Amino acid sequence: MSDPDEPLEIAHPEESGAMRIAIRTAAVLLAFTLAFTAFMSSAWYLTAPRVAASAQAEKLRLIGEVLAPTLYDNALLADAITLPPQTVLGLDEDTRLFRARKNGAPVALVLEATAPDGYSGQIGLLLAVAADGRLLAVRVTRHKETPGLGDYIDPKKDRNKARPWITQFSNLGFAQIPIDQWRVKKDGGHFDQRAGATISARAVTNATRQALAWTVARRDKLFALPNNARFTDSSEE
């Protein structure tokens, strides 16, 4: 029996109603969260293969600008190794190097490099180096050079569509142009630059020379490493 002097606690209808509303709201939010999570998971599962295929196609398209698909018959994106940061290549993070082969024989190496000293910052490059030491082609993949002035390093922006500036490096190696001549003409070298925009051309030319020399010196090892191996270099950079 309760103490007659103890006051009875009476549940107010307002508090009971508020509690029910809070519980119902929490249940609705939980159901919505679970449904949204399930939807997003299903969407990712269904679209992931298409996204991956699209990314692969874009990568092959970019590589195709420096290496013609007819030159190799292997699964290029699968025949690759990891390059750790390389100071001489201007790389401060891991990148992938791809090996092109035909009938099992080495054809070319495709790799990235960065020119750190463009007029407006870094200039990203993609190069294809043939097994015989020639630079098959080089393309600019990213830059912030001045529009209408230094951006001619990118063939998409070069007004000379018949012979873009960057194509002058194609199919040349140190057997054709000695390494000490692999500079712009303003610096006493072989390669042209455009008036008023020498810095951009110099940055690309010097970075291309360094990347070509680095690759040629390590060519055999780069081709010989197992797929997905991580390259290590004991020589001085």
- Of the given ranges (8-22, 28-42, 203-217), which has the lowest mean pLDDT? 8-22
Residue 221: predicted pLDDT: 96
- Give tens-digit pLDDT for 57-89: 667 788 999 999 999 999 999 999 999 999 999
Check whether 150 has a pLDDT greater than 80: yes
Map residue 216 onto helix, strand or coil.
helix
CA 114 remoteness from chain centre: 11
- Per-residue pLDDT, 172: 98
The answer to whether 132 and 216 have CB atoms below 8 angstroms apart is no
The Cα–Cα gap between 115 and 44 comes to 37
Taking the alpha carbons of 141, 143, 147, 151 in that order, is the dihedral positive or negative? negative
Distance CA 203, CA 68 (A): 26
Contact status, residue 216 vs residue 173, Cβ threshold 8 Å: yes
Provide the pairing of β-strand 105-118 with 95-102.
antiparallel
Q: Helix (H, G, I), strand (E, B), or coil: what is residue 29?
A: helix
Spatial CB neighbours of 202, under 8 Å, sequence gap ≥ 6: 117, 183, 184, 186, 187, 193
**Average pLDDT over every residue of 28-53:** 64
Structure token pair of residue 90: 């201007």
Q: What are phi and psi of 105, to 5 degrees?
A: -90, 140
Query: What does DSSP assign to residue 185?
Result: G
**Structure token digits, residue 52:** 């991956």
On whether the CB atoms of residues 72 and 100 are closer than 8 A, the answer is: yes
pLDDT value, residue 42 = 65
pLDDT at 122 exceeding the cut of 70: yes
Domain ranges for the chain, please list them: 12-66, 68-224
Q: What is the mean pLDDT of residues 175-201?
A: 95
Is the pLDDT score of 31 beyond 80?
no
Structure tokens at 116: 């750190």
| pLDDT mean over 13-31 | 73
Q: Which residue has the higher pLDDT, 36 or 210?
A: 210
Residue 217 in this model has a pLDDT that exceeds 50: yes
Work out the pLDDT band at 14, boundaries 50, 70, 90.
Answer: low
Give me the chain's average pLDDT, please.
Answer: 87
Residue 99: its H or E element: strand 95-102
| Mean local confidence (pLDDT), 4-16 | 56
pTM over 0.85: no
Q: What is the pLDDT of residue 12?
A: 57
Q: Give the pLDDT of residue 1.
A: 47
